[in-house]
Amino acid sequence: MKKIYLSVIGMFFLLFGAFAQNSGTDSAYKNRKLSFEEANLVSSYYKQDGNNAAVTGGIGSQKLTDISNSIDIKLSKWDKLNRKHTFDLEVGIDHYTSASSDKINPQTISSASHADTRIYPSLSWSMENQRKGTTIGAGLSLSSEFDYTSIGINANFSQKTKNRMGEFTVKAQAYLDKVSLILPAELRVNPPGGGGGDEEEDYPTSSRNSYSGSLSYSQIINQRLQIMFLADLIYQTGYLGLPFHRVYFANSSVHVENLPDKRMKIPLGFRANYFAGDRVILRSFYRYYHDDWGLTAHTAEIETAIKVTPFFSVTPFYRYYKQTAVDYFAPYQVHTAADTYYTSNYDLSAFNSNFYGAGFRVAPPKGVFGIQRLNTLELRYGHYTRTNGLNANIVSLNLKFK
């Protein structure tokens, strides 16, 4: 893991050094050559525990650790019509270890599914026409891990109002995924390679496609208040469960999670940011969610940015979440043969959760640690708890170069 982290760091500074030499342009000059705008290096460490693992039918350890690193580089140029083109390249690497995933095949001491590395590059482009107040953009993303691959495409359009106080945005996305059908060891008829291990890569696959459309409208009410309305429509089709999620029936027989092959999701959201003087910013968010599997959820979040000095701020935050269970959920040994669809995945159960923590942000005019181009350092910590016993901690670090 240390090698992965150091490789990400090295890649970041290599790319940053290649473009930083072009960043010293006069802001009044419209640079028609591709130039460096900013770069972000984000690292996080996540650790959770609980006793409702879906791999073992809703019981058992949910211990998991995840180390995530991502590099995000923004480049920009102006064309002959004074339109700004922005290119955003991001590369992410996650590495996790999971106690529950190792139970896919209990016969192995430590199977390939016990730990995995996910790589997810993405590239996006946008073109802003300041005279017309419009922005168009498109993007492509990839994600790959041991049992899952995904290709994503998106396009967006934004139009500002005549007085530039409001902006309407529409976005369309599609994710075309492939899921490897890795069944629990005891339910495999003809395991790949004939050995029953998890190391082979010739498992059959099934598709999972997601399509979404998003609408948002933001408005500057006055110098202190900004609001935004958000609406999404998401449609999923294909294999929507996971093949290694066990479900134990009331008669003690074991089955593979079975869920409908279609799902429609409707999230509606509202944001409000209030500038309470020069030193305090209040950020709030509410989202209502409903889908045709019967899950209804509410999310309420508030964050306060307190500027202790002109270059140092503290950001405490709190998020409350509440959801109902999907129609197809039941705990360990409750489902019966009369059920058409069934799952014991506690992510689809009814629960409340709390997520709270704080961060601090430093952005001195001479750069962090005296490094001129290291514009910002932000460190955040959060603690997460669920009413079904799951708990987690996450620490993240963000370094911004400009």
How confident is the model at residue 102, as a pLDDT? Answer: 73
Q: Token pair of 153, please?
A: 């495409």
- 0.85 cut: is pTM over it? yes
How confident is the model at residue 108, as a pLDDT? Answer: 58
Alpha carbons within 13 A on the beta-carbon side of 158: 17
* Closest alpha carbon to 147 in 103, 182, 123, 114: 182
By residue count, the chain amounts to 402
Task: Answer for the pair 93, 48: CB distance below 8 angstroms, yes or no.
Answer: no
Sign of CA dihedral 108, 109, 114, 116: negative
Q: Which residues contact 28 (CB under 8 A, 6 or more apart)?
A: none
Residues in the chain with pLDDT values less than 50 = 1-2, 4-9, 11-12, 15, 18-27, 109-112, 194-196, 200
**CB 358: neighbour CB atoms within 10 A?**
16
Q: Per residue in 113-155, pLDDT tens?
A: 568 899 999 999 999 999 999 999 999 999 999 889 999 999 9
Q: Which CATH class is domain 2-401?
A: mainly beta
How confident is the model at residue 105, as a pLDDT? Answer: 74
Q: How far apart (Å, rounded) are the C-alpha atoms in residues 14 and 21?
A: 12
Q: How far apart (Å, rounded) are the C-alpha atoms in residues 76 and 88?
A: 9
How confident is the model at residue 32, as a pLDDT? Answer: 79
Q: How far apart (Å, rounded) are the C-alpha atoms in residues 229 and 119?
A: 33
Token pair 């934004």 in the structure block, residue: 158
Q: Provide the residue ranges of all domains of the chain, joining segments of one domain with +.
A: 2-401
Q: Token pair of 318, please?
A: 């709190």
Q: Per residue in 26-74, pLDDT tens?
A: 445 576 789 999 999 999 999 999 999 999 999 999 999 999 999 999 9
Token pair 């948002």 in the structure block, residue: 216
Q: How far apart (Å, rounded) are the C-alpha atoms in residues 64 and 286?
A: 29
